Amino acid sequence: MPRLMRIGAGASLELANILTQLGLSRPLIVTDSHLVELGKLKKVMDSLDSSKFSPRLYSDVVLDPTIASIEKCLAFLRQGNHDCVVGFGGGSSMDTAKAVAVLAVHGGAMSSYKVPHVQDVPGLPIIAIPTTAGTGSETTRFTIISDEVTLEKMLCVGLGFLPTASLVDYEQSFTMPKLLTAATGLDALCHALEGYVSKRSHPFSQNIAVQSMRAIAPNLRRAYADPSDVYARESVMLGASLAGIAFSNSSVALIHGMARPIGAFFHVAHGLSIAMLMPTVIAFSAPADIRLYANAARAMGVAGEDESNESAVNNLVNEYIAFNKDLEVPTPKAYGIDPARWESLLGTMAEQALASGSPANNPRAATAEEIVQLYKQAWAGGEDTQQLYNKAGA
């Protein structure tokens, strides 16, 4: 977990205090140009008194950061004299800040940091300020960087990527567009679920995951319907950070392993690719540990304490189908992915999913052939998913 956390309205304006507490004064602020245009950074920058701090702003973060984008940010950092990196924005800004903070000290090629490498030795201190409620990057020891040549989304892990401090300010999330609320919220709910059912989970991560599901599940539709719903925004933002702690202390599993190649090959936003797969992969996985998945359904409020495990898991699958309908998440087919390219890449996608290591933590092991079948099942979503679950014998 981050050494310091500030959570709640106005927490992002605590940056100056946090830097002082950590003995830091020369931050590189890493963000994207859209957030600068929205004026979201102004108050935070204004709070850094020029007599005490000498910040520089880098605002060229790209969506789904690539190796080239990291090298560009690193070159900018080296033009200055920085003692820490602040990631301000969604997952892309925070993940860029993390990668640059490690490379600034340890150097080498970004690709040399992907799993199975573990980067526990820290680089520059990282301070994370999320403006979306979903990625959880503010509380995780992970960063995801795309290799633009192989089109692989590289998972990089280790304590070196864990922020020293996180400022979780739900007021920063009020201006999120609806689609972003849906995609990031469902991603967070997946972090909580996978952090809960993962083979590497344990009572600490499971308790945090349960609290995360309780915070997100009943409030996500409210945040989606009314972006200014304060209670819903606060709950989903808190839930997303809790989910980050849960899966950073256990792991994600098959859904994340399978989602990364969809994002890399078809440029589908991370949260959307996650949401596209969730009903199908939950239906496949739940029969391996029906009690765990039933407890997740109870934490999400879609099953009663006295309801049978079988009924609870049935409700869980249906709830994820309903989420995708209510939050207008398209299937891969409806998204407009070329069916021929989808078919031709399924084998490669399955290989990359397995190579990421995440599927090994799934309660139900999946072979490459089964992963290909799951991609096929998820293609059009809906009815097929419920049939798959029934066939699994649950």
d(CA 195, CA 209): 6
Q: How far is the CB of 46 from Fe ion (least distance, A)?
A: 32
Token pair listed for 356 = 């990421």
Q: Of the two residues 152 and 187, which places its CB atom closer to Fe ion in the complex?
A: 187
SS3 128: strand
Q: Of the two residues 84 and 253, which places its CB atom closer to Fe ion in the complex?
A: 253
Site for Fe ion in 111-140 (CB under 5 A): none
Q: How far is the CB of 156 from Fe ion (least distance, A)?
A: 14
Q: How far is the CB of 252 from Fe ion (least distance, A)?
A: 7
Stretch that binds Fe ion, among 82-90, 101-109, 184-192, 209-217 (CB under 5 A): 184-192
Question: Each residue of 248-270: b (16+ CB within 10 Å) or e?
Answer: bbbbbbbbbbbbbbbbbbbebbb
Q: How far is the CB of 163 from Fe ion (least distance, A)?
A: 16
Per-position x/- string for 159-178, each x denoting binding to Fe ion as judged by CB under 5 A, each - no binding = --------------------
Give the rounded distance of the alpha carbon of 190 from its chain centre.
9
Q: Of the two residues 187 and 319, which places its CB atom closer to Fe ion in the complex?
A: 187
Stretch that binds Fe ion, among 102-110, 186-194, 300-308, 353-361 (CB under 5 A): 186-194
Q: How far is the CB of 260 from Fe ion (least distance, A)?
A: 9
Q: Of the two residues 95 and 169, which places its CB atom closer to Fe ion in the complex?
A: 95
CA distances from 80 to 37, 97, 343 (A): 24, 15, 47
CA distances from 217 to 185, 209, 386 (A): 9, 12, 21
Q: How far is the CB of 191 from Fe ion (least distance, A)?
A: 6
Residues 6 or more apart in contact with residue 218 via CB below 8 angstroms: 235, 300, 301
Q: Of the two residues 125 and 130, which places its CB atom closer to Fe ion in the complex?
A: 130
Q: Of the two residues 164 and 248, which places its CB atom closer to Fe ion in the complex?
A: 248
Q: How far is the CB of 14 from Fe ion (least distance, A)?
A: 26
Cβ-based neighbour number of residue 287 at 10 Å: 17
CA distances from 316 to 69, 91, 300, 319, 370 (A): 39, 27, 8, 5, 22
Identify any residues that bridge with 142 across adjacent strands, giving them in sequence order. 157
Per-position x/- string for 63-102, each x denoting binding to Fe ion as judged by CB under 5 A, each - no binding = ----------------------------------------
Site for Fe ion in 221-260 (CB under 5 A): none
Which DSSP category does 172 fall into?
G
Q: How far is the CB of 326 from Fe ion (least distance, A)?
A: 20
Q: Of the two residues 28 and 99, which places its CB atom closer to Fe ion in the complex?
A: 99
Per-position x/- string for 274-303, each x denoting binding to Fe ion as judged by CB under 5 A, each - no binding = ------------------------------
Residues 6 or more apart in contact with residue 72 via CB below 8 angstroms: 60
d(CA 256, CA 358): 7
Stretch that binds Fe ion, among 13-21, 141-149, 183-191, 328-336 (CB under 5 A): 183-191
Identify any residues that bridge with 153 across adjacent strands, giving them in sequence order. 146
CA-nearest of 72, 59, 56, 63 to 33 is: 59
CA-nearest of 172, 85, 87, 165 to 133 is: 172
Q: Of the two residues 41 and 144, which places its CB atom closer to Fe ion in the complex?
A: 144
Q: How far is the CB of 183 from Fe ion (least distance, A)?
A: 10
Binding of Fe ion by 194 (CB under 5 A): no
Identify any residues that bridge with 154 across adjacent strands, giving them in sequence order. 145
Q: Of the two residues 126 and 269, which places its CB atom closer to Fe ion in the complex?
A: 269
Q: Of the two residues 127 and 277, which places its CB atom closer to Fe ion in the complex?
A: 277
Q: How many CA atoms lie within 13 A of 297 on its CB side?
A: 29
Which residue of the chain is nearest Fe ion when measured via CB? 187
Cβ–Cβ < 8 Å for 38, 69? no
Q: Of the two residues 140 and 235, which places its CB atom closer to Fe ion in the complex?
A: 140
Stretch that binds Fe ion, among 51-59, 187-195, 203-211, 341-349 (CB under 5 A): 187-195
Binding of Fe ion by 187 (CB under 5 A): yes
Size of the site for Fe ion (CB under 5 A): 1
Chain residues binding Fe ion by CB under 5 A are 187
